[in-house]
Amino acid sequence: MGENDRMTQVEKAIIGLRGLVMSGEFDAGSRLPEVALAERLGVSRTPLRQAMDRLVSEGLLERIESGGCRVASFDLDDINDAIELRGVIEGTAARLAAERGVDAEVIADARGLLARIDEGISGPNSVDFDLYVRLNARFHDMLAQMAGSDLIRREVDRVCRHPLASPNAFLRGQEIIPDFLASLVRAQGQHHAIVDAIEAREGARAEALAREHARLARRNFRFLRDADPRLATRIPGLSLVTAQ
């Protein structure tokens, strides 16, 4: 990986540790040993501890009073709250974008992006899943910026990074769900509606739509959870979910 050279040790530790925790390498609630982890990630303890601070603020780890960190565990309520929060924050971004207005060019960009998603999911019968995931993430990024506020953009990014509430969380693996394509179509319909509302300066509608849009994540999660227990070890983050 050539771009590893430009990656600082802290980023390396953040990405590596996040990947390890999400993959279920450590049981939920287990304490993370710093020295062993540092060696495993190929960094020293200093950047590793910075990475741990970061993951604590993301909610993926919890600090232990007596020292150190443990892997967080989530129940259904936690996930629903995180999804609710994302809906609220993205809803605010959409509302502010509508109220404050955005350049026609930005609207056009968003429409272009949505057109590409339309193509992707209305193909013959095989959906380019990775493409959808990538474009979906980009759409939510665009939404974050449309309010024209750095603070709002940062906050949207934050809640979208939440391991169990990101727009693409639990999207991989959905292939097994029968009407999974219908779910994508529905989500995409909401994307269009949100952009419409922003363009029409309908703040309340944009906010409500974005909130409801986040709710799809609940369905996705429940489907996946009920589908097959064996998936828990294959879907990133699913191993951190406790049985209510």
Partner DNA sequence: TGGTAGCCGAATGTATACACTGACGCGTAG
Partner DNA sequence: CTACGCGTCAGTGTATACATTCGGCTACCA
Nearest to 236 by CA among 71, 14, 83, 23: 23
> What is the torsional sign of CA 157, 163, 165, 170?
positive
Select from its own copies, DNA, none the partner in contact with residue 76, using the beta carbon and a kind-dependent cut-off of 5 to 8 Å.
Answer: none
Assess 8 for contact with DNA (CB under 7 A). Answer: yes
4 in contact with DNA (CB under 7 A)? no
Using rule CB under 7 A, residue 30 touches DNA: no
The helices-and-strands tally (H runs, E runs) of the chain is 9, 2
> Which listed option, DNA, its own copies, none, makes contact with residue 156 (CB within 5 to 8 Å by class)?
none
The span from the CA of 32 to the CA of 62, in Å, is 10
- Number of C-beta neighbours around residue 186 at 10 A: 14
Q: Choose which of 19, 29, 30, 33 interacts with DNA (CB under 7 A).
A: 33
DSSP code of residue 30: P
Question: Of 19, 29, 42, 57, which one interacts with its own copies (CB under 8 A)?
Answer: 57
**Identity of residue 125:** N
By CB under 8 A, residue 61 contacts its own copies: no
Binding site for DNA (CB under 7 A): 8-10, 31-35, 43-47, 49-50, 66-68
Binding site for its own copies (CB under 8 A): 46, 49-50, 53-54, 57, 59, 77-78, 81-82, 84-85, 88-89, 92, 96, 149-152, 154-155
